Copies of this chain bind each other. A is one copy, B any other.
Amino acid sequence: MNIESKNGTVVLRRTKEQAPPRSWRDYVIGRPLATADAPHQTISKKIGLAVFASDALSSTAYATQEMMAILAAAGTLAFGYVFPLSLVIAGLLFIVTLSYEQTIHAYPNGGGSYIVSRDNLGALPAKVAAAAILTDYILTVAVSISSGVAQVVSAFPNVFEYRVYLAIGLVLLIMVINLRGMRESGMIFAIPTYFFVVILYINVIAGLARYFLGPMGIGISSLGMVFNPPPLELATEQVAGVGLFLLLRAFSSGSAALTGVEAISDGIPAFQEPRSRNAGITLIWMSAILGTLLLGISFLAAHISAIPSAEETVISQLARTTFDGRGFMYIATIAATTVILVMAANTSFADFPRLSAITANDGLLPRQLTYRGSRLVFSRGIVALAFLASLLIFVFQASVTRLIPLYAIGVFMSFTLSQSGMARRWWKIGKLKPGEEIQEAASRLHYEPTWKTKMLINGFGAICTAFVMVIFAVTKFTTGAWVVIIIIPSLVLLFSLINRHYRELAKRLSLEHFGVPPLVHRSRVILPIGGVHRGTLAAVRYARTLSADVTAVHVSTDPEETRRIQEKWEVWGEGIRLVIIESSYRRFMEPLLMYIDEIYQKRQPNEVITIVVPQFVPRKSWTNLLHTNTAGALRKMLMFRKGIVITNVPYLVEE
């Protein structure tokens, strides 16, 4: 123990070091970790890539196919546009990556779109960014788990009936693994992520080798066409030729590949020191993998004449063409794709709790979300995410088709806000003199000579992503994007209400401009009694230590019992005044409350009324059912009155 004495106040410090006792939770999520262990819980670049990239990388499993599905409206010849469009998307990815690279270095404590918007654009854009990205994290879990389950269902059709349970079961499994802590869950999830990356590279490299080099490296392609491709489904509306609108729609569908790129910027604090550097390098690796895989798959898909179809994925067609049939590599490719789709959910589990803790700390969400659980993760956020995603899965019956239109708008909205915020930040930096520094909430501004270039990069990124967002909103409005138009403003409203509550509360509780509070001059004690027994006497004894002015009150519903109580009181009541209230309608609570109200109305300023309630505490909890919980009911009724204090004196707790 450590004793300090400052300004006349004695302060004792003591530390409770011992770990909490063992419990069943230890087996599920591991032993509790001390706060001091926090630095050891950060993750390396390798694990960071697995944790934060699984969402982005999983999109390579479907981005090409989504573009082709749109282009199919203009016939198979239009598939020739897939590779050029992929080049444009890769360009967009390059710009967004550059842009986020700058963000990561500017916000070493985490620079998600919420923080960047808050520091540079103001409260409302920040709330919009938070609403957009939180919604998107929930949707990511629901969509990716549902699509993973859909893959399982196409392999085992019997499972269809149980798909909702299976999906919710997977959500809960990922929840439990994440509750074990960032580091452990990262290690668990790293294996399937790297497996996916390796398998897809083998696919692309083998395909390209066969195409360009041929079997013996003699430059004659040995990669043929897809054997027996699925039939081309007729699009609902056929178009005559490839127009600009069709290309834009295909482009916007393909840009879904960019969802998940922002994940690392939200998760910087999870990385080992030097955080920004490690996170930045991880981002570059992620984008490089994402870009090359996308380009490779799109190139090959067009050249083998793959057909977008609900019956067989483009990845499947590519794998069986590259590896000549459904052999080991084909099976590995399909398995890796299924697993990565389920695991994309994990990125949300890494980021959603962190972002909700940040917004909760700013007073936009309940403060409880800032609490770090026994394994140093924001366990309440993890549980909340699992609950909300499970709810979505249940409501939409794990249907990817019904969930997907809600998805991705939020991501591009937050991209735009984040990059606009960064552009504004460079603008502010450009106005500083060399050597001048400003400390903002989450970053430090100091003059940089290259601010103009950097502003241009972020500004251009913002324009591009805003453009994609508009295309998304227009082309998908009727199929479900309108839901987002309702959800995001509702969330913003909720944030504002919560924030107003916390701010008003803080103002009301603030000690600034607060005079010395008035002393309590007088104290009255009211002691409701239901009988005269040892428990009552304990309460009487206690009540007498509080004040000389004690009144016992008995509400009478049975004259016979009241007579007995009165007789006993005359013996045991220590001369304390007893008020008997006869209740004509056999009510107990109302007459007592009316009496307390009367006393309360007549009280003097600075008088406190204490209600001392003898509370029966059973030794066995089932016996609670055999007693009326008057103490609890009284507390609820009286809590809303200022100047009334409720005291419970427990009885019958002898060992």
Chain A residues close to B by CB (< 8 Å): 6-17, 19-20, 32-36, 366-368, 371-374, 498, 501-502, 505, 508-511, 514, 517-520, 523, 531-535, 537-538, 541-542, 544-546, 557, 566, 568-573, 575-587, 590-591, 594, 608, 610, 615, 617, 620, 623, 625-628, 635, 639-642, 644-655
**Given known contacts A579-B12, A644-B650, A590 and B520 CB-to-CB distance under 8 angstroms:** no
Cβ of A585 and Cβ of B34 under 8 Å apart? yes
Question: Which B residues lie within 8 Å of A501 (CB)?
Answer: 620, 623, 626
Question: Which B residues lie within 8 Å of A615 (CB)?
Answer: 639
**Given known contacts A545-B608, A557-B35, A582 and B374 CB-to-CB distance under 8 angstroms:** no
Cβ of B8 and Cβ of A575 under 8 Å apart? yes
Cβ of A541 and Cβ of B569 under 8 Å apart? no
Contact of A542 among B570, B582, B608 (CB under 8 A): B608
Determine the residue in chain B with the shortest Cβ distance to A645.
Answer: B649
Question: Which B residues lie within 8 Å of A531 (CB)?
Answer: 509
Contact of A15 among B541, B573, B584, B654 (CB under 8 A): B584
What are 12 inter-chain pairs, A to B, with CB distance below 8 A?
Answer: A9-B575, A10-B578, A11-B569, A11-B578, A16-B584, A372-B586, A508-B654, A509-B531, A509-B533, A511-B537, A639-B653, A645-B647
A10 to B647, CA, bound (A): 24
Q: What is the oligomeric copy number?
A: 2
Distance (whole angstroms) from the CB of A585 to the closest CB of chain B = 5
Distance (whole angstroms) from the CB of A653 to the closest CB of chain B = 5
Cβ of A9 and Cβ of B648 under 8 Å apart? no
Contact of A582 among B15, B498, B510 (CB under 8 A): B15
Distance (whole angstroms) from the CB of A360 to the closest CB of chain B = 9
**Given known contacts A545-B608, A639-B617, A12 and B577 CB-to-CB distance under 8 angstroms:** yes
Distance (whole angstroms) from the CB of A353 to the closest CB of chain B = 15
5 extra interchain contacts, Cβ-Cβ under 8 A, other than A11-B566, A517-B537, A615-B639?
Answer: A15-B584, A509-B534, A518-B541, A545-B608, A647-B648
Cβ of B545 and Cβ of A520 under 8 Å apart? yes
Cβ of A639 and Cβ of B645 under 8 Å apart? no
Question: Which B residues lie within 8 Å of A570 (CB)?
Answer: 6-9
A580 to B537, CA, bound (A): 36
Distance (whole angstroms) from the CB of A650 to the closest CB of chain B = 5
Distance (whole angstroms) from the CB of A589 to the closest CB of chain B = 10
Contact of A534 among B366, B368, B514 (CB under 8 A): B514
Distance (whole angstroms) from the CB of A567 to the closest CB of chain B = 9
A527 to B624, CA, bound (A): 29
**Given known contacts A580-B14, A653-B642, A534 and B519 CB-to-CB distance under 8 angstroms:** no
Question: Which B residues lie within 8 Å of A372 (CB)?
Answer: 586
Contact of A10 among B577, B581, B649, B654 (CB under 8 A): B577
A518 to B541, CA, bound (A): 8
Distance (whole angstroms) from the CB of A153 to the closest CB of chain B = 33
A130 to B357, CA, bound (A): 59
Cβ of A645 and Cβ of B648 under 8 Å apart? yes
Contact of A35 among B545, B585, B651 (CB under 8 A): B585
Cβ of A11 and Cβ of B580 under 8 Å apart? yes
Question: Which B residues lie within 8 Å of A36 (CB)?
Answer: 584
Question: Which B residues lie within 8 Å of A14 (CB)?
Answer: 579-582
Cβ of B20 and Cβ of A590 under 8 Å apart? yes
Cβ of B581 and Cβ of A34 under 8 Å apart? no
Question: Which B residues lie within 8 Å of A544 (CB)?
Answer: 520
A502 to B654, CA, bound (A): 16
Question: Which B residues lie within 8 Å of A651 (CB)?
Answer: 509
Determine the residue in chain B with the shortest Cβ distance to A363.
Answer: B626
Distance (whole angstroms) from the CB of A361 to the closest CB of chain B = 11
Question: Which B residues lie within 8 Å of A509 (CB)?
Answer: 531, 533-535, 651-652
Cβ of A594 and Cβ of B16 under 8 Å apart? yes
Distance (whole angstroms) from the CB of A356 to the closest CB of chain B = 14
Question: Which B residues lie within 8 Å of A578 (CB)?
Answer: 9-12
**Given known contacts A32-B585, A585-B20, A534 and B520 CB-to-CB distance under 8 angstroms:** no
Cβ of B585 and Cβ of A374 under 8 Å apart? yes
Determine the residue in chain B with the shortest Cβ distance to A582.
Answer: B15
Determine the residue in chain B with the shortest Cβ distance to A532.
Answer: B511
Cβ of B520 and Cβ of A541 under 8 Å apart? yes
Cβ of A645 and Cβ of B542 under 8 Å apart? yes
Distance (whole angstroms) from the CB of A647 to the closest CB of chain B = 4
Distance (whole angstroms) from the CB of A228 to the closest CB of chain B = 50
Determine the residue in chain B with the shortest Cβ distance to A533.
Answer: B509
Cβ of A16 and Cβ of B511 under 8 Å apart? no
Cβ of A534 and Cβ of B505 under 8 Å apart? no
A11 to B532, CA, bound (A): 15
Cβ of B534 and Cβ of A581 under 8 Å apart? no
6 tightest Cβ-Cβ pairs between the two chains A and B: A509-B533, A15-B582, A647-B647, A34-B584, A16-B591, A7-B570
**Given known contacts A34-B585, A509-B534, A591-B16, A646 and B647 CB-to-CB distance under 8 angstroms:** yes
Distance (whole angstroms) from the CB of A499 to the closest CB of chain B = 10
Cβ of A626 and Cβ of B502 under 8 Å apart? yes
Cβ of B545 and Cβ of A517 under 8 Å apart? no
Question: Which B residues lie within 8 Å of A575 (CB)?
Answer: 8-9
A518 to B534, CA, bound (A): 12
Question: Which B residues lie within 8 Å of A371 (CB)?
Answer: 586
Contact of A9 among B366, B510, B573, B628 (CB under 8 A): B573
Distance (whole angstroms) from the CB of A444 to the closest CB of chain B = 19
Cβ of A541 and Cβ of B566 under 8 Å apart? no
Distance (whole angstroms) from the CB of A583 to the closest CB of chain B = 6
A39 to B624, CA, bound (A): 34
Distance (whole angstroms) from the CB of A31 to the closest CB of chain B = 10
Cβ of B505 and Cβ of A652 under 8 Å apart? yes
Distance (whole angstroms) from the CB of A393 to the closest CB of chain B = 24
Determine the residue in chain B with the shortest Cβ distance to A523.
Answer: B545
A529 to B465, CA, bound (A): 48
Distance (whole angstroms) from the CB of A626 to the closest CB of chain B = 5
A33 to B587, CA, bound (A): 11
Contact of A16 among B8, B581, B625, B628 (CB under 8 A): B581
